[in-house]
């Protein structure tokens, strides 16, 4: 019984880590921004792997609250609305480590 509980806890911990891991979170962004965040998403965004973390954090939080964005901000709002602060931070730390 104890083993089962420990195994369950281990799986739970792994899921929690994966959910806040920048590389894992970025997978859903790669379709538009490119695997290395090297593309202009849908030909419209800037190339975000050239951005600093804090700039990415403010952009993502701005999309979430509606205070940031251009003509296609609705698309990004849908992408970030379910992300927590921690997840936004993890993405913002991860994206600048990517190279073209």
Dihedral over alpha carbons 65, 68, 73, 79 (to 10 degrees): -50
Binding flags for ligand HEC, 7-36, as an x/- string (CB under 6 A): ---------------------xx-xxx---
Burial of 7 from C-beta contacts in 10 A (0-12 / 13-18 / 19+): exposed
Rounded distance, CA 35 to CA 38, Å?
A: 7
**Residue ranges in 73-92 that form contacts with ligand HEC under rule CB under 6 A:** 73, 75-76, 79-80, 91
Q: Which is nearer to ligand HEC, 5 or 70 (CB)?
A: 70
Binding interface with ligand HEC (CB under 6 A) = 28-29, 31-33, 41-42, 44-46, 48, 56, 59-60, 69-73, 75-76, 79-80, 91
């Amino acid at each position: 019984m104890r083993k089962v509980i420990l195994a369950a806890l281990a799986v739970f911990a792994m899921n929690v880590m994966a959910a806040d891991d920048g590389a894992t979170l970025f997978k859903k962004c790669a379709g538009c921004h490119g695997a290395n965040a090297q593309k202009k998403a849908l030909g419209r965004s800037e190339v975000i792997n050239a951005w600093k973390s804090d700039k990415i954090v403010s952009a993502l939080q701005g999309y979430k609250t509606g205070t940031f964005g251009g003509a296609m901000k609705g698309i990004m709002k849908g992408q970030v609305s379910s992300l927590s602060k921690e997840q936004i931070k993890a993405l913002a730390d991860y994206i600048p480590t990517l190279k073209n």
